[in-house]
Amino acid sequence: MIQDPAHHLAAIHAAATALLMHAEPLDAQQRTFIEHIARTSAQLETLVAGLPPTEAAWQQVIPVLGETFSKPQAALFGYARMLLEHPAQFGSAPPTEWQQAQLETIYQHGIALAQTTETLKQNAFAARQARRQQPAAAFDLVSLLWQQAPLYQFWLKPYPVRLHFGLDAMLPPAYGRPYHVDELIRHTLVTMASELVEYGDLRLGVEADMIQKHVSVSIFCTGIQLTSQEIATLYQKQGRHLYEKHLQEDGGSLDYQREAGHGASVIVHLQVAYPAL
């Protein structure tokens, strides 16, 4: 089982903070390096704050964060190694026994963090390739949305919005590819939050229509006073049409509705799976 990268970041930050706060003073070069380690580890902790501590969650997030998360890691163990092995080359005094223990903690957790990140990237690629090969099939839409809810909240963290859930419903099985449905919903939420939201509220809801033989996910956004045609541009640039294309391949469709004075919704319709028809 892969250890949570946040565990390594917390250990690095704690050791760096202890070095800065301890009674044994650091010389100027040591302090410069340790302050950088403390600052960088804190920034990376903030970047992934709120992410569920599961390998599945990390596999979804690591490829998207890319070098923003992985590139700064080299300085964490690199600076610690410099102070441990070659302090004189950088005009620094040899560390005391206590300082050496803290630097070893930073170095070991820094190496482990980099290795874990690389393993997660490789596992994420393999898992993504496997999911893309899966054919459309029956799946539980509500379970998928509850499973992904913490990640939807995570992706919306940079934006001043609130996401509400209306998922307390019993639905028949949906038909499609969960991987593509999740991608479409995530894209819609993030694009609404970054480009369209005016009043800071998004709502994710579900419903079934057995007459039309479909189950639906509605993504409601307050404050949008755009036309349906303008809302549809969510899927008309920068390769975004692929989200709708994959949905249509599995018999699904997109719809757009406005509520004058309240907001607008993107509605994702999925076919009801065959046994429930």
Q: What are phi and psi of 222, to 5 degrees?
A: -70, 150
Show which of 92, 115, 133 is a domain's final residue.
133
Tell me what the mean pLDDT of segment 129-137 comes to.
89
Cβ neighbours of residue 30 closer than 8 Å, sequence gap 6 or more? 19, 83, 87, 92, 93, 95, 99
pLDDT surpasses 50 at 40: yes
Same domain, 65 and 183: no
Q: Is the pLDDT of residue 275 over 70?
A: no
Phi, psi dihedral angles at 166 (to 5 degrees): -125, 70
* pLDDT value at residue 189: 92
- Count of domains forming the chain: 2
Rounded Cα distance, 96 and 187, in Å: 51
b/e per residue 252-270 (b: at least 16 CB within 10 A): bebebebeeeebbbbbbbb
Identify whether residues 64 and 20 lie together within a single domain.
Answer: yes
Q: At residue 181, does pLDDT exceed 90? A: yes
- Residue with the larger pLDDT of the pair 114 and 169: 114
pTM of the predicted protein model = 0.85
> Is residue 234 over pLDDT 80?
no
| 9 & 81 share domain | yes
- The predicted model gives 222-247 an average pLDDT of 73
Give residue 227's pLDDT: 66
The secondary structure of residue 239, as a DSSP letter, is T
Q: Are residues 85 and 147 both part of a single domain?
A: no
Q: pLDDT at residue 276 above 80?
A: no
pLDDT above 50 for 277: no
pLDDT for residue 224: 61
Name the domain boundary from 133, 159, 184. 133
Domain region containing 234: 137-276
**231 vs 108, which has greater pLDDT?**
108
Highest mean pLDDT, choosing among 18-32, 33-47, 132-146, 188-202: 33-47
Of 110, 133, 156, which closes a domain? 133
Is 215 found in the same domain as 89? no
pLDDT of 242 reads: 84
For 176, 189, 214, the CA distances from 141, given in Å and listed in that order, are 10, 17, 11
Same domain, yes or no: 156 and 272: yes
Give the confidence band of 49 by pLDDT, cuts at 50, 70, 90: very high
Distance CA 184, CA 268 (A): 9
Rg, Å, the chain Cα set: 24
CATH of the domain at 231: 3.30.565.10
Query: 190-232 pLDDT, tens per residue?
Result: 888 887 776 678 999 999 888 778 999 999 888 666 666 666 6
**Residue 5 near residue 41, CB atoms below 8 Å:** no
